[in-house]
Structure 1
Amino acid sequence: MSVKKIVIFGECMVELVSANETQLTKSFAGDTYNTAVYLKRSAPQVAVSYLTAIGDDFLSNELLFAMGNEQISTEQVYRSSKRNLGLYMVRTDQHGERTFAYWRANSAATQTINAMTKAPEDIDFFYFSGISVAILDEPQRLKLFELLATLRNKGCKVVFDPNYRPLLWSSRDEARFWMNKSYQLADIAFPGGDDHLALYEHVNTDEVLAHLAPFEIDEVVMKNGAVGVHIVNSDGHFIVPVQQVANVVDTTAAGDAFNGGYLAARLSGKSVTDAASYGAIVAGTVIQHPGAIIPADTLHKAVAPL
């Protein structure tokens, strides 16, 4: 089986997590970056490249080293001498639910498409999220969608997760417009129940799937927390239960980790139901530990790479 190549586009930020009232721990995270890490850890044989822009400062250098340690290609990472990495702080309550504060409005990643000097080529998959789109200005969004159309015409599969963050959009109408535009180009989509409730006011799985039906997406993988995963493709509608996690420490990156595990399994030739089960184990492991990116050995003790 030939090596699968995937480019994942988005923003990786400095993550600061409250250790106690006076101390913070620092790492790097971001929705699409988290997915890239868990995909590569789960399927080391897949060639994973991250498309983004970073600064020219010491934190950006540390991020490059972190990507190298994860064996994620930095060929599509561009530098900005005038902008730095975005930053966010997360505080987690006793139930594992998190509260965020962001400093990202003028980050280098918001200029990624402008900074890109060579478009990805000869790739099998391209992954992006609603956050990837939201951080761009409109001219860059249009360029991104031109790139997606070109890649699809060359046989590349486009993968999309809406990951709706209201603060990144001027209005729900704007977000709906660009989310729907993204769904139109998606071959695989990861809609979330919470995202669709907040953005479209969809209250159940049937409403989500009915909204997506006109887009004719090849593979819809609907995440709905502990309720389970609904998958719709040409073979039918599958429901995959997920094992309940008793000790939830931090739900940061749960969906991202699921996506990474699911795609790792699919790119390794697994069925959609096996892929959902594998992704759920990856996500279930991640939420039992603090932070978005848990230690690799901790992950691999719970779930073996494919």
Structure 2
Amino acid sequence: MSIVDTKQRMVIFGECMVELRSTQRESSVSTRDENTDNNLMAKSFAGDTYNTAVYLKRCLPSSSISYLTAIGADFLSDELLFKMGEHEINTDLVFRSSSRNLGLYMIRNDNEGERTFAYWRNQSAATQTLNIMKGTEFACDWFYLSGISIAILDDEQRATLFELISSLKAKGSKIAFDPNYRARLWSSQEDAKYWTGKAYAEADLAFPGADDHLMLFGHTNADEIFSYLADKQIEEIVMKNGAVGVHILRQQEQCIVPVERVEQVVDTTAAGDAFNGGYMAARLAGRKPVESASYGAKVAATVITYPGAIISGDAFTNHIPSL
């Protein structure tokens, strides 16, 4: 696989939501006055593939990143469009719904930075993206999606999505996929397995996660995951396996790249998304897979030392050099 052109256009598909998080980390159980500042919330915008788009662009400013989604016609959607402009994400494939608004989620972190979420997204505009964009055609060098991108759609739109992917591949596009399994978004585990398998079968670059495969397929180690993917004809597999490291399988060669050690984890939100963005940015810049994995791990390690999915630009550039 050749990824050595910073000018290639990447289209990233999914949902960006309003993110609400506490301005002060809450301890496990304590008595608090409901009128204290502990109940103040900070607002931002995030979503798995959107996070990847932002971090990819930050790592490789010369890259061309378009985000494919649907948003509402409300003031929050207007704010999101403005924020995308600040991040230099192309909005030519952001569609508007007159009847639906942005999804929303609230995040809570424990003392180790692990998070729990509450979501309000079932009726979001993004769940209708393929219907709203009907008839729209575009070309790109890379098309990136996740399991969440697929899960939020109904079956008819999922079929339309894979028709789009087939059309893009026929034009020479490469496909990148992260399964990012979230059980609550699927009607059944079998449904999730079916559509995840279809996406893997189209992928040129895949980012399986050990936790995702354990929950969805019952795979307990890298060998089982690589065995499952063996007949998918994926050129490059980058498996994220927590503290164990990143397993890379490419052209029958396998290696493990250690992850960055972090002394104090603040918020693990977007860790995998940030890794994917850093990895793809490095590959677009011509780096080898091992070097790209190390770079992606550094991006992820930086992101989890700050609260929220998208950390400030200054905090990012203070730790991560552009490629």
1:208 aligned partner, one-letter code: I
- Deviation, structure 1 residue 249: 0.4
Aligned-partner Cα distance in 2 for 1:30–1:120: 24
**Alignment match of 2:54 (pick from 37, 53, 56):** 37
**What corresponds to 2:66 in structure 1?**
49
**What corresponds to 1:179 in structure 2?**
196
Q: CA RMSD in A?
A: 1.0
- Deviation, structure 1 residue 121: 2.8
**Alignment match of 1:59 (pick from 67, 76, 81):** 76
Residues 265/72 of structure 1: CA separation in 2 closer, same or farther (3 Å cut): same
Deviations 1:166-204 (A, max 9, x none): 000011111000000110100000000000000001011
**Residue 169 (structure 1) aligned with residue 190 (structure 2):** no
Aligned-partner Cα distance in 1 for 2:183–2:302: 28
- Deviation, structure 1 residue 122: 3.0
**What corresponds to 1:6 in structure 2?**
10
**Residue 299 (structure 1) aligned with residue 290 (structure 2):** no
Query: Which stretch shows the higher mean deviation, 30-39 or 144-153?
Result: 144-153
Gapped regions of structure 1 (runs ≥ 5): none
What's the TM-score, normalizing by structure 1?
A: 0.98
Structure number with bigger Rg: 2
Gapped regions of structure 2 (runs ≥ 5): 25-37
Q: SS where residue 17 of structure 1 aligns?
A: strand
**What corresponds to 1:16 in structure 2?**
20
**What corresponds to 1:86 in structure 2?**
103
**Alignment match of 2:297 (pick from 274, 280, 290):** 280
**Residue 244 (structure 1) aligned with residue 261 (structure 2):** yes
1:17 aligned partner, one-letter code: R
**What corresponds to 2:115 in structure 1?**
98
**What corresponds to 1:199 in structure 2?**
216
Aligned-partner Cα distance in 2 for 1:99–1:139: 31
2:198 aligned partner, one-letter code: K
1:56 aligned partner, one-letter code: A
Aligned-partner Cα distance in 2 for 1:117–1:106: 19
Deviations 1:84-133 (A, max 9, x none): 00000000000000010000000000000011145453311000000000
Aligned-partner Cα distance in 2 for 1:219–1:50: 23
Equivalent pairs, count = 306
Q: Decide whether the 8 Å contact of 1:262 with 1:279 is kept in 2.
A: yes
Aligned 1:135-174 pairs, distance under 5 A: 135-174=152-191
Residues 22/228 of structure 1: CA separation in 2 closer, same or farther (3 Å cut): same
**Residue 211 (structure 1) aligned with residue 215 (structure 2):** no
Q: Decide whether the 8 Å contact of 1:125 with 1:158 is kept in 2.
A: yes
1:97 aligned partner, one-letter code: E
Deviations 1:120-151 (A, max 9, x none): 53311000000000000011000000110111
Residues 2/299 of structure 1: CA separation in 2 closer, same or farther (3 Å cut): closer
1:165 aligned partner, one-letter code: R
Q: Decide whether the 8 Å contact of 1:7 with 1:120 is kept in 2.
A: no
- Deviation, structure 1 residue 79: 0.3
2:248 aligned partner, one-letter code: I
**What corresponds to 2:27 in structure 1?**
none
Aligned-partner Cα distance in 2 for 1:72–1:109: 17
Query: Which stretch shows the higher mean deviation, 19-28 or 128-137?
Result: 19-28
Q: SS where residue 302 of structure 1 aligns?
A: coil
